[in-house]
Amino acid sequence: MDLARAWVQAIAAAVDQHKDHLTQLDSAIGDADHGVNMHRGFSAVTAALDGYDPDTVGALLVKVGTTLISSVGGASGPLYGAAFRAAGKALDAPKATPQELAAALAAGLDGIRKLGAASPGDKTMIDAYAPALAAFQQQADSGADLTTAALAAAQAAEDGLRATAPLQARKGRASYLGARSIGHPDPGAASAALVFRALADTAATR
pLDDT tens across 38-88, in order?
Answer: 999 999 999 999 999 999 999 999 999 999 999 987 788 999 999 999 999
- Are the C-beta atoms of residues 93 and 56 closer than 8 Å to each other? yes
Q: Domain-by-domain residue ranges, the chain?
A: 2-204
3-state secondary structure of 121: coil
CA 135, 195, 62, 127 dihedral sign is negative
| Per-residue pLDDT tens digits for 83-105 | 999 999 999 888 889 999 999 99
d(CA 63, CA 161): 27
CATH architecture assigned to 2-204? Alpha Horseshoe (1.25)
Closest C-alpha among 3, 86, 16 to residue 45:
16
Q: Helices 146-164 and 126-141, interaxial angle, to 10°?
A: 150
pTM above 0.85, yes or no: yes
CB atoms under 10 Å from CB of 55, counted, come to 11
pLDDT value of position 71: 94
pLDDT value of position 174: 79
| Residues above pLDDT 90, as percent of the chain | 80
pLDDT value of position 1: 67
- Contacts of residue 20, defined as CB under 8 A and 6 or more positions apart, other chains included, come to 35
pLDDT value of position 18: 97
